[in-house]
Amino acid sequence: MSMFVVISTYKKSLDEIDKKREEHLAYVKNFILSGKFLAVGRKNPVNGAVIIAHNVTKNELEKIFRNDPYYLNGLAEYSITEFNPASFAKGIKETLKNLEK
């Protein structure tokens, strides 16, 4: 089972990013609801974001991000790293369930 870590890096100021943020979040929400994105959030400091993805191929991810409003408007670039999880922490299901609250 392949999983992916996607790192976005902002190419413009936060003021410019925030102008397209709602459009970007609406786009990303589709992939959260479909189960392709497990976790999504801004990096700290806020200069991009991290996305954990699964149930998707690398080619599909590349297409997803080529159509992202941030990418289409020259606001962000994306780096995709594929990995095969060898083990999981005990209690990960409960931890993830608690994060939803």
For the chain, what is the domain count? 1
CATH number (domain holding residue 10): 3.30.70.1060
The DSSP output letter for 53 is E
Residue type at position 23: E
Does 23 reside within a domain? yes
pLDDT for res 92? 76
What is the span of the domain harbouring residue 39?
3-86
Burial of 47 (0-12, 13-18, 19+ CB in 10 A): middle
pLDDT for res 76? 98
Does 13 reside within a domain? yes
d(CA 40, CA 38): 7
State the pTM of this model. Answer: 0.87
Does 95 reside within a domain? no
Does 100 reside within a domain? no
Does 96 reside within a domain? no
pLDDT for res 94? 77
d(CA 26, CA 4): 21
pLDDT per residue rounded down to tens, the chain (101 residues): 789 999 999 999 999 999 999 999 999 999 999 999 999 999 999 999 999 999 999 999 999 999 999 999 999 999 999 999 888 788 777 776 666 65
